[in-house]
Amino acid sequence: MTRRREKASAPSNSRRAAREFAFRVLFESERGQVPLQEALNRARLNMAHGDDTYPELGDEAVDFARDLLGAQTARRAEVDSLLTRTIRGWTFEQMAQTDLNVLRLATAEMLRGEDPHPPIIESFVRVARKFGGEDSGRFVNGVLSGVSRTIEEQGALPLPGPDGSGDDA
């Protein structure tokens, strides 16, 4: 087997794939009015059984996706407040659910402060283009650029870790 085929058949541990997986789980949870953990378990089960709806992810990517979903849940009020202050002329009710979920996950990840904002924005713009409407990519890019500026100006605090400290590890 060639290296390219070996790489293609190996589970992905990329953050880009994990972000898309997290988006799809959140979307299924919100749309289907299913608890987030149930949607995550269902997606992981489908992935494990070879359902090609979900890309095969390695343990590292699944952990990252789970952490990202947890971050957006833990800081939902802060995320929504930041988005509300950034988005001009739109309410959450007027927005496509796809765009809103992309924005929530990306904002939660940026608030964590673990990675630089540009690659996060780029990944989520790709998700918006793939799953959203014709103008979703531009809309998401504009909003996330504003969110990034606000976070950098205000010096938002990272998510508290399991022990209550500012450390996520």
> Can you give the residue range of the structural domain that contains 44?
11-154
Say whether pLDDT at 88 is over 90: no
Helix (H, G, I), strand (E, B) or coil at 128: helix
Q: Average model confidence (pLDDT) for the chain?
A: 84
Asked whether residue 44 is domain-assigned, the answer is yes
Residue 155: its pLDDT value, please?
Answer: 72
Residue 46: its pLDDT value, please?
Answer: 83
Asked whether residue 88 is domain-assigned, the answer is yes
Asked whether residue 22 is domain-assigned, the answer is yes
Q: What is the CATH number of the domain that holds 128?
A: 1.10.940.10
Asked whether residue 165 is domain-assigned, the answer is no
Residue 107: its pLDDT value, please?
Answer: 97
Q: How many domains are contained in the chain?
A: 1
Q: What is the pLDDT of residues 48-78, one digit of tens each?
A: 777 667 778 888 999 999 999 999 999 999 9
Residue 116: its pLDDT value, please?
Answer: 92
Residue 33: its pLDDT value, please?
Answer: 86
Please tell me what DSSP assigns to residue 2: -
Q: What is this structure's pTM?
A: 0.82
CA-wise closest residue to 69 among 34, 99, 27: 27
DSSP 64-98: HHHHHHHHHHHTHHHHHHHHHHH--S--TTTS-HH
Asked whether residue 4 is domain-assigned, the answer is no
Asked whether residue 166 is domain-assigned, the answer is no
**Higher-pLDDT residue of 17, 162:** 17
Say whether pLDDT at 163 is over 50: no
Asked whether residue 3 is domain-assigned, the answer is no
Q: What is the pLDDT of residues 97-136, one digit of tens each?
A: 999 999 999 999 999 988 899 999 999 999 999 999 999 9
Q: Could you give the CA distance from residue 62 to residue 67 in angstroms, rounded to a whole number?
A: 9
